[in-house]
């Protein structure tokens, strides 16, 4: 390959007395990538060429040359950045949520509308299954986001929510920026985050957000990324001002509860106690954690009847079990923390 661009770049850098590392820091690309471009071992991206022109004042601009270089079709991921895969594992035996999953899938697969924000906020009570749904959806739609998935636990429902600065550090590290290259200034960090996510098909999951103020500085700038927020709190401000759309996560339907019981206990065991099964389904009230608890307990004790478990549940003998905590999840509001910590 004729190394016109690499030579022009090295010449301009030397004329400015800049090391590779200094230039790398200024243009937010790795020194290794820059070195390969200078040696002609890598075709520079247009983004890199534009950034080098800007920093070094190269004339004639190498961006014009870079634009004319033959390229593969749109790369699945930026060749020199990490493809993050940060989602935690989805719960085993995931059940229900067909309606929500198809709405999210339709949203994710729709063509981006220019630079418009693509953001869905899953809201619901504690233990409603917001995180489970977001994570499950993220894994199942991985093909729609070939540039990867970023996942951040914002800890908004705890006494120590993640600060914006700490969130920026994690997001930037997630897209491959070394710790030493992350600007301390929050505005600069945000600008770098937007630059590095621009044009990429990334899913950004912001889990357990406290409020719109915690989410807003973490939104990518362009419309190619999709953002999925979960929160115990509704975010009308994000909906009205930024055009996010809210999805309320309620109980799973009774049919899904029945399916989960059948999958966990076997159809025969469930069919043997039809009345007790129906009553248990009603008592579980579509609460995912309560359903999981019932399945786990009954599976652990093959000799226990569904009637017996239901009786224990209704009598409150399982007072220590998460089942009852789940029932408490119908309480509307959890105290919102005031301070943000790193």
Ligand X SMILES: Nc1ncnc2c1ncn2[C@@H]1O[C@H](COP(=O)(O)OP(=O)(O)OP(=O)(O)O)[C@@H](O)[C@H]1O
- Minimum distance of ligand X from residue 184's CB (angstroms): 31
- Local structure of residue 16 (DSSP, 8 states): T
- Residue with smaller CB distance to ligand X, 59 or 92: 92
Tokens matching residue 193? 């985050």
Region binding Mg ion by CB under 5 A among candidate stretches 46-54, 105-113, 130-138, 173-181:
130-138
Question: Which candidate, 135, 164, 137, places its Cα nearest to that of 151?
Answer: 135
Scan for tokens 């090391």, then name that residue: 19
Q: How many residues bind ligand X (CB under 6 A)?
A: 21
- Residue with smaller CB distance to ligand X, 175 or 247: 247
- Residue with smaller CB distance to ligand X, 6 or 251: 251
Helices marked H in the chain = 4-15, 20-27, 31-39, 46-56, 62-68, 98-109, 130-140, 164-174, 186-197, 212-215, 236-242, 254-265, 267-271, 274-284, 288-300, 306-314, 322-327
Question: Which candidate, 60, 255, 220, 251, places its Cα nearest to that of 149?
Answer: 220
**With binding defined as CB under 6 A, does residue 128 bind ligand X?**
yes
Site string for ligand X, 283-312 (x = CB under 6 A): -----xx--x--------------------
Among 53, 100, 127, 211, binds ligand X (CB under 6 A): 127
Among 96, 161, 174, 220, binds ligand X (CB under 6 A): 96
- Local structure of residue 74 (DSSP, 8 states): S
**With binding defined as CB under 6 A, does residue 132 bind ligand X?**
yes
Given Mg ion, ligand X, none, residue 288, with its beta carbon under 5 to 8 Å by kind, binds ligand X
**With binding defined as CB under 5 A, does residue 131 bind Mg ion?**
yes
341, β-bridge pairs: 162
The residues of the shown chain that bind ligand X, judged by CB under 6 A, are: 91, 93-97, 124, 126-132, 157, 208, 230, 232, 288-289, 292
């Amino acid at each position: 390959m004729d190394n016109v661009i690499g030579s022009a770049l090295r010449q301009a850098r030397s004329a400015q007395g800049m090391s590779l590392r200094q230039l790398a820091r200024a243009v937010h690309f790795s020194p290794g990538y820059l070195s390969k471009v200078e040696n002609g071992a890598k075709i520079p991206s247009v983004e890199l060429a534009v950034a080098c022109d800007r920093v070094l004042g190269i004339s004639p601009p190498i961006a014009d040359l870079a634009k004319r270089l033959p390229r593969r079709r749109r790369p699945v991921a930026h060749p020199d950045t990490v493809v993050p895969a940060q989602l935690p594992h989805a719960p085993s035996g995931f059940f229900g949520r067909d309606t929500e999953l198809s709405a999210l899938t339709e949203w994710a697969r729709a063509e981006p509308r220019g630079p418009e924000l693509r953001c869905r906020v899953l809201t619901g009570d504690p233990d409603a299954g917001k995180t489970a749904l977001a994570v499950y959806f993220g894994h199942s739609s991985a093909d729609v986001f070939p540039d990867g998935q970023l996942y951040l636990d914002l800890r908004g429902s705890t006494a120590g929510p993640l600060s914006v600065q700490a969130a920026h550090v994690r997001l930037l590290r997630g897209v491959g920026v070394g710790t030493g290259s992350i600007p301390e200034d929050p505005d600069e960090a945000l600008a770098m985050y937007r630059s590095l996510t621009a044009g990429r098909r990334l899913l950004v999951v912001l889990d357990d957000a406290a409020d719109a103020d915690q989410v807003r500085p973490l939104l990518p700038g362009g419309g190619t990324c999709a953002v999925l927020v979960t929160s115990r709190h509704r975010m009308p401000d994000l909906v009205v001002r930024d055009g996010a759309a809210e999805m309320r996560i309620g109980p799973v339907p009774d049919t899904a509860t029945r399916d989960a019981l059948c999958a966990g206990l076997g159809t025969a065991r469930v069919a043997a106690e039809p009345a007790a099964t129906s009553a248990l389904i009603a008592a579980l009230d579509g609460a995912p954690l309560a359903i999981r608890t019932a399945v786990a307990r009954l599976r652990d004790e093959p000799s226990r009847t569904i009637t017996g478990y239901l009786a224990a549940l209704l009598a409150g003998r399982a007072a220590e079990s998460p089942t009852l905590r789940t029932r408490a999840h119908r309480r509307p509001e959890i105290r919102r923390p005031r301070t943000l910590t790193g």
